């Protein structure tokens, strides 16, 4: 559901959708808000809340909400988050998570490898070997990409998903 905001005497209130009942400037209580069209909502002072361009909650904080009159919407001031970990620690954590994910994907077929190691007359099915090899290759590629990252923000948002 879209967020809307209204300014009542300098206090901006944000809500999910337009509330069914609300106060307008002057203290009047209005009902039927959820049935208002966009133009009727705007006449009552409700305008959409638009997130700042390129906002990513993983690396940005939101602060002051304000009205953008030329576009007729509310938005927030966006700032970069501060991270206490240094870049090398963030990379190490990301790589550890990547390897943990790979382990989870490899674990269901580990018994094929163990069986082969104990008795090499028992083969590993080719589709299992191919799948395991692809997982390990993807991990190597992603690990190299993580090590090449140069900012904390790029490390935070880097996608380690192996699916």
Segment 143-162, tens digit of pLDDT: 999 999 999 999 999 999 99
Burial of residue 50, with CB atoms counted within 10 A of its CB: 0-12 exposed, 13-18 middle, 19 or more buried: middle
The more confidently predicted of residues 138 and 41 is 138
How far apart CA 91 and CA 146 sit, in angstroms, is 6
Global pTM value: 0.74
Q: Dump pLDDT digits (tens) for 7-37.
A: 988 889 999 988 888 776 666 677 787 788 8
Count Cβ neighbours within 10 Å for each residue of 133-147 and write b for 16 or more, e otherwise.
eebeebbeebbeebe
CA distances from 123 to 34, 106, 117, 129, 136 (A): 65, 17, 10, 10, 19
């Amino acid at each position: 559901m879209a967020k809307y905001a209204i300014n009542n005497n300098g206090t901006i209130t944000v809500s999910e959708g337009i509330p069914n009942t609300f106060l307008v400037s002057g203290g009047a209580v209005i009902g039927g808000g959820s049935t208002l069209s966009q133009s009727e909502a705007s006449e009552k002072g409700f305008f959409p809340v638009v997130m700042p361009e390129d906002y990513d909650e993983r690396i940005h904080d939101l602060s002051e909400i304000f009205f953008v009159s030329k576009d007729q919407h509310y938005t927030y001031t966006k700032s970069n988050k501060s991270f206490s970990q240094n870049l090398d620690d963030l990379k190490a954590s990301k790589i550890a998570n990547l390897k943990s994910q790979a382990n989870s994907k490899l674990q269901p077929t580990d018994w094929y490898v163990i069986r082969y190691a104990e008795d090499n007359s028992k083969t590993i099915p080719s589709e299992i070997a191919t799948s395991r090899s692809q997982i390990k290759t993807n991990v190597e590629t992603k690990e190299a990409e993580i090590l090449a990252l140069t900012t904390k923000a790029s490390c935070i948002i880097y996608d380690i998903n192996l699916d």
